[in-house]
Chains A and B, each alone.
Chain A
């Protein structure tokens, strides 16, 4: 244990995701030795992020204004909507530059163990967005794990009466990989999702 404020700092840092007690100690001593100007910049960045960044009132993505950059962009296709779990998933899909529609960020996935049900996610907001009939295709891009699949199934059932096209991201073999290195589950899924080749 260290004295007073140093230990306070280590405790606070240790609460961050991905930082263990050793890492927290290392960061704390790095900050102690650092140039005061650098530390002030870090403090300012943290304060600013809490004060200035909001969640977009349309899609739930992080935004500096009422609406995020993507929702304000008139060039985006308003008829296709992609549902993801977290803002970082938006960033991941944006990096592909393949998708020109808009997003809806749920803020997590259904997980009864953690007490997360549909009411804790932005599902009601999604239904409101779909109500005007502008969106014709809904892409469910939740994580390919148990909770993500359950969330996708739930949403697919919920929007079924609305008659729009609902799709799920394909899961299967990684591009550039070797077939022999794929695990059985992935390879099995790839077999299930095989498609016709157009020639």
Chain B
């Protein structure tokens, strides 16, 4: 698929913007702070209903405006779909597909699919487990939009159960305490948590060989240390991880029963997919703490390439839009060239860079200059 036209109203620095786009490579070139990333952020938002830069919608709306409108016309196998999204901070966002309103913005998930590479991706290797969980969960939602609902339910159960652990824990220390409803929340957390955990395990199994392959292709040395991707669950080592939801739910519930006292003392949910991590190994060692800067970058890029590969294969060759936001400036020459070769053949690639020299030659294509919120097609 590819984006044929992007139009924005009061989004970030743009009062209005109309940007026609072609398949193939488009480089968005301009000095920092001129609005390049805002453009790819808008494309990403339409695909994931979230920004890779901020957690809330507030900063996305232009200063002084009440709402922002994002609109993209997406071409997929010669069929065109118009996706529109209206962001109103503090209110419910609204979406339309081909001019018809949809009941919830969530319904547009899957119509436009993107894989985004950004400088922040280094945190996938070097950062906290939360970064890696988010990588998995966002990919889950792109793969099966239904998972957006499962994630939302899980967050809600988690909040309810945490609130209960806090109040019940405090009451217990005071001599009283009411644990009757905790059993009920345990069961609900286990049920929704098993769904999320099972889906993540399936995903890691599918990604592992793709990450290995991408890493080999990106690394220059003849025999790079082999990488591997695994999953570490809060259930601990002794529980065998299967994707059978009933087995997982039972294991989660048993683990909660076992750690109940500790959970009450700390007022925290200590069991469940929100405590898990993705294990990335480089040869014998965990990548975090052992991988060099260059190796970490290769691994981070491999994770994104694997996601691209997986989404393309599973939708019968319909490739997601590739977005490379300011990444080439972060890479050494050889990684730059290899990454460029690997992505050059994708159906649509959007690249942002401060100067034209940051875009590798293999990614020769259209060029759009971005300056002070104005865009101009140069080539």
One of B69-77, B161-169, B197-205, B336-344 contacting the partner:
B161-169
Q: Which of B23-31, B179-187, B351-359, B360-368 interfaces with chain A?
A: B179-187
A-B contact number at CB 8 A: 52
Which one of B104, B146, B167, B184 lies within 8 Å of A110 (CB-CB)?
B184
Which residues of chain B in 38-62 are interfacial with respect to chain A, using CB atoms and an 8 Å cutoff? none
Which A residues touch B157, using CB under 8 A?
A: 146
User: In whole angstroms, what is the CA distance A5 to B157 when docked?
Assistant: 44
> Are the CB atoms of A153 and B167 closer together than 8 Å?
no
Whether A159 sits at the interface, judged by CB under 8 Å, is no
Residues of B within 8 A of A110 (CB): 181, 184
Number of interface residues of A (CB under 8 A): 20
Q: Given the complex, which residues of A lie within 8 Å of B159, measured CB to CB?
A: 113
Verify B146–A112 contact, CB threshold 8 A: no
B160 within 8 A of A: yes
Docked pose: A146 CA to B150 CA in angstroms: 12
State how many angstroms separate the Cβ of A43 from the closest Cβ of chain B: 33
Assess whether B164 is in contact with A184, with CB atoms less than 8 Å apart: no
- Within the complex, which residue of B163, B178, B184 is in contact with A150, where a contact is CB–CB below 8 Å? B184
A118 is an interface residue with CB less than 8 A from chain B: yes
Known: A146-B156, A149-B188, A184-B149. A115 touches B181 (CB 8 A): no
Encoded as 1 (CB less than 8 Å from any A CB) or 0, chain B from 95 to 121 comes to 000000001100100000000000000
- Shortest Cβ distance from B90 into chain A, in angstroms? 11
Q: How far is the CB of B302 from chain A (nearest CB, A)?
A: 31
CB distance from A151 to the nearest CB of B (A): 8
Minimum distance in angstroms from A97 CB to a CB of chain B: 29
Task: Say yes or no: is B277 at the interface (Cβ < 8 Å to chain A).
Answer: no
**Are A185 and B149 also in contact (CB < 8 A) when A110-B181, A118-B181 are?**
yes
- CB of B153 closer than 8 Å to a CB of A: yes
Q: How far is the CA of A33 from the CA of B41 in the complex (A)?
A: 50
A157 near B183 with CB under 8 A, answer yes
Residues of B within 8 Å of A113, CB to CB, are 159-160, 163
Quote the shortest CB–CB distance from B182 to chain A (angstroms). Answer: 9
For residue B149, which residue of chain A has the nearest CB? Answer: A185
Provide the residues of chain B in CB contact with A153, threshold 8 Å: 184, 187-188
- Check B167 against A112 for contact (C-beta < 8 Å): yes
Are A146 and B145 interface neighbours, CB within 8 A? Answer: no
Across the interface, name the chain B residue whose C-beta is closest to A152. Answer: B184
A184 to chain B, nearest CB (A): 4
- Compute how far the CA of A153 lies from the CA of B182 in the bound complex, rounded to whole angstroms: 11
Is A117 close to B, CB under 8 A? yes
When A112-B161, A185-B146 are in contact, do A146 and B184 touch as well, CB less than 8 Å?
Answer: no
Separation of A118 and B183 alpha carbons in the complex (Å): 13
- Name the distance in Å between A66's Cβ and chain B's nearest Cβ: 31
| Nearest CB in chain B to that of A184: its residue | B146
B156 and A154 contact, CB distance less than 8 A: no
Residues in B with CB closer than 8 Å to A115 are 163, 167
CB-based contact B153/A146 at 8 Å? yes
Interface string of B121-164 (1 = CB under 8 A from A): 00000000000000000000000011001000100110111011
Known: A111-B160, A184-B145, A188-B146. A150 touches B180 (CB 8 A): no
Kindly state the separation between the CA atoms of A164 and B63 in the bound complex, as whole angstroms. 61
Within 8 A of B (CB), among A137-171: 146-147, 149-150, 153-154, 157-158
8 Å CB contacts to B: which residues of A21-73? none
Given contacts A112-B167, A184-B146, A185-B146, contact A157 B160 (CB under 8 A): no
Query: What residues of chain A lie closer than 8 Å to B107, measured between beta carbons?
Result: 183
When distances are taken between beta carbons in the complex, the residues of chain A under 8 Å from B149 are 183-185
Tell me if A112 and B164 are in contact (CB < 8 A): yes
A119 located at the interface, meaning its Cβ lies under 8 Å from any Cβ of chain B in the complex = yes
Please determine whether B188 and A146 come into contact, CB atoms closer than 8 angstroms: yes
Kindly identify which residue among A112, A183, A185 contacts B160, using a CB–CB cutoff of 8 Å: A112
As a 0/1 sequence over residues 158 to 199 of chain A, the CB contacts with chain B under 8 angstroms (1 = contact) are 100000000000000000000000011100100000000000
Indicate if the CB atoms of A154 and B180 lie closer than 8 Å. Answer: yes
Smallest CB gap from B147: residue in A: A184
B180:A112 contact, CB within 8 angstroms: no
Taking a contact as CB atoms under 8 Å apart, the answer to whether A150 and B153 are in contact is no
- Bound-state CA distance A118–B167 (Å) is 14
List B residues at the A interface (Cβ < 8 Å). 103-104, 107, 145-146, 149, 153, 156-157, 159-161, 163-164, 167, 178, 180-181, 183-185, 187-188
Can you name 5 A-B residue pairings with CB atoms under 8 Å? Answer: A110-B184, A113-B163, A149-B188, A150-B181, A185-B146
The 3 closest A-B pairs by CB, nearest first: A112-B164, A112-B163, A184-B146
14 other A-B residue contacts (CB within 8 Å) besides A110-B181, A115-B163, A118-B181: A112-B160, A112-B163, A112-B167, A113-B159, A115-B167, A118-B180, A146-B153, A146-B156, A146-B157, A146-B160, A146-B188, A150-B181, A157-B183, A185-B149
